[in-house]
Amino acid sequence: MAAKFVIYLDKSKKHRFRFVASNGEIIASGEAYESKAACMNGIKSIQKNAPIAAIVDETVKKEPAKKTAEKKPAAKKAPVKKAAEKKPAAKKAPVKKAVEKAPAVKKAVEEPAVKQEPEAKPEGLPQVEKADA
């Protein structure tokens, strides 16, 4: 079986065509036409222009033409700020309750009853450590 154009009516009752290969696969399909004659003109246009049509690959990124003047370096983008991470709440120190002390006890704690002065060491004599007996 040879390749063929098949004309059919779509759901909206408009004329369309399919180009079917010899193995039965649909290779291409046309737009919706108001009349059968317009659909036939679409098929004739394909038959006429397909043998000389250029192939344009739009999936490949095109290289821009090189300019003789140097390009300025692109400005750096500002870094993206990350959302602030939540820190766990700090534990509060337990509240100490004030304990009232008797004035005599408080005084005794603040001021020792007997003041001890450091021992006076004679100058010029070697220091000797006491041996435990």
Q: What pLDDT digit, counting tens, does each position of 25-62 carry?
A: 999 999 999 999 999 999 999 999 999 999 999 998 87
- Domain boundaries, given as residue ranges, for the chain: 4-52
Q: What is the pLDDT of residue 110?
A: 55
Backbone dihedral angles phi then psi of residue 37, each to the nearest 5 degrees: -60, -40
CATH hierarchy code of domain 4-52: 3.30.160.160
**Cα radius of gyration rounded to whole Å, the chain:** 50
pTM higher than the cut 0.75: no
> Cβ of 19: how many Cβ atoms within 10 Å?
18
